[in-house]
Amino acid sequence: MTLLLKLEHLALFLAALVAYWLFAAFILVPDLSFAGYIAGPKTGSFCYNACHSWLGPVGLSATTLLLDWQLEQISSRLNRLSAGNL
């Protein structure tokens, strides 16, 4: 094996090793919404429920869809303007 091939294999091995440890760390990291329980059970339950609610993801999705639609309208108008078709 040439030196270049050995270095490529070493880089691939190190990348796979880092990816494996990152995956393991993210699986094993406890849920951070439990940190609210340090302030008490009432605050902790509010933090936990707020982080595990569907309102955030649904609102973010709706906002993204709305902004994408608006950006699509703006880009189509700009395309028509640049082509000379109002």
Domain limits for position 70: 33-86
Do 42 and 21 belong together in one domain?
no
Q: What mean pLDDT is predicted for residues 36-64?
A: 86
pLDDT at 51: 80
- The domain tally of the chain equals 2
Do 37 and 26 belong together in one domain?
no
Give 8-29 pLDDT, tens digit per residue: 999 999 999 988 888 887 777 6
DSSP 31: P
Could you tell me the two tokens for 53? 């609610």
Q: Are 16 and 27 in contact (CB under 8 A)?
A: no
Residue for token pair 């902004």 = 67
